[in-house]
Structures are given as C-alpha cells and as structure tokens.
Structure 1
Amino acid sequence: MSSPTPQPPVPSGQEAAPHDAAQERLRLLGARVTQPRVAILACLIGSGEAMTHQAVIDTLPAEAGVDRVTVYRVLDWLVEQGIAQKRAGNDRVFRFSLVEHEAARAQVHRQHSHFHCTRCDRTYCLEAAGAPPRVATPKVPSGFAVEHVELTVNGICAECGKRHDAGTATPSGHSH
C-alpha cells in the first residue's frame, strides 16, 4: 500500500480560493488529488485568460516544486479530462484555459470563439460577452469529419487600446 502524496499547506488569502476549488474539482472528478494537479489547476482557475505552458510555470508558487515536464503532462491530462482546453495561438504556442466541466461536453462550448490581441498576444474567450456566434461548418472533402470549429477574432484589446490612445510607446518602440 502506498502512502498518500504529502500535500503542501493550503495557501492563505486570495490564493486559497483557487487552491480549494482545484482540490474540490479533482475530487468531484474522482481523480487522484496530487499536489502538481492542484497547483496547476489552481493557476487556470485563478487566471482570466488562456495561459501558455511558460505562463503556468511562472505563476506556480516556488514551493510547488513542479518541473516543466510535469506541467506539460498535467495540462494535457486536464484537457483529456475535459477540465481545460488547449488551442494554438497565432504564434503556434499552445494556450490552456479552464472550461466548465459540463460545458466541455456541450457542442456550444466546443464551437466558441476567442479574441486574440495582436499587441499583447493575450487570448480571451468571447462567451462571457454573450452567446457564441454561429460558425458555419466548412465543407470538407469526402471522408473527413469535422469535430469542432474555432473562430479567432484578431484585434486590439481594451487595455492595449487605452495605452495606444494615451500616446504611449507602440510595440515597435515609437511614440505617437
């Protein structure tokens, strides 16, 4: 019989809510509740935007002690479990975002859209702004089967737009 994995102390303050939510989510799933799974899922729960593998690593508390390979494995496992989704950005870097467990199985979530800011490279889910737009399923060659359709709207987010309007430096380093 193996002994349970030692769990780090529960974070205090604002960090406790994502940590507790991550533990509960894993318990409800019937999955093993391990320290790396809790820490990585808590990062996604606490983030309002899709995160790259590196962003997850940068967000993890130092005491988590989770290596890069484990982060990749846990993120892929979360996708397989329907807790997270994985999509490639325009820069071909995968980004991971939290999905509601029930919505992960619903067609409406699989066909949701994103907004990608071309200045700061952040990606936002658009569902919060209202119902996702109906995306026509493209005609595919005979024998092909469409599993889902993604729509990414590219532009400038509100934060970058404010910086631009305020006359701050542009990405090329020039001021207006």
Structure 2
Amino acid sequence: MSPAGVVLIGAPGAGCSSVGRALAQTAGAPLVDVGEAVARQLGTSPELALVAVPEERYREVEAAVAMGMIGQARDGAVVALGSGCLSDAAVRTALESAAADGVRIVHLTASARRLATRNGLDAPRSVALGNVHQTFTRMLQEREAACRQVTDDVVDTTDTTPTQAAALIRSTGLPLS
C-alpha cells in the first residue's frame, strides 16, 4: 500500500488550497482540492460556487465530494478539504477512519485579521450588508471549533507563505515519503 497522505482542514483563507499545492509539489504527491471539485460539479468557478447555488445545495455536494476524496489521502494524496463540510457527521467519521489508517489531518489556522484580509473583508463595507465582520468572526469561531474536534495537529499560517507552511508540515511528521 502507498504511504498515507494528508488532509488539510481550516477556515476560509487559512491556506488549504495554496498550502496543499505547495505541499503536494514538494512531496511529489497528487493534490485533490474539494473546493475545485465541487465547483466543477456545479458547473462554475471555485470563487463563485458558493453563490451560484443555495448554500444548502453547495454543502450537500461538498460533503459528497469530500467523502470520495478523503479516501484518496489513504493512497498518498494531499487533500485540501477546508472546513465547511465538517458539519456533516459522515465526513467527520471518514476523517476519523482515515486518521486511524495513518492519514495525517492538519488544521491550518491564522489570525482573524489575516483571514479577513485573505477573504477580501479588509475594505469598508456598505451598512446595507449588516455587520459583515461580526458574521465572519462568528463563522470563523464555529469552523475553528469544528477543526479542533477533528485534530490537534495545528499549523498557523498567519505569517507564512504557502511554501513555508508546507515545509513546516513536512518537518513535523508528514506521512508522505
């Protein structure tokens, strides 16, 4: 059997996709990005997928796609999962099973300020949109809590580039050879 891979989880902007690309490249492993796969299935771009369909539909597709891709980590892939699908019990169970099989589950995190900037929320917003920062902060707290329930393996990407974060992951016991 091929060596186990890694699943990257984290709030939007923590770096699952970008760190995943860097990690896959340096490890010589395939990358599977759940967000990109969901967008393809919905017939849109990753940037627009969550607004192209109702969120409930997006989350259904995301959970189904995640279930298929978590298994690829058992065969050595780097899986950029994110955190939106962690509310699905079957996804959490699949992650637990993958971890028991030697897949490393890494929680990427960053400061709320850095995540807001990475998500384009550092510009003034119309009051018509309500308190966007408060809503974003509440979502971050929920996602961070969900990630902590799945793994204790945390890498802070606040002050790192994707390449630096990937090197940190590899230096701290990534199961990829």
TM-score, normalised relative to structure 2: 0.26
Give the structure with the higher percent helix. 2
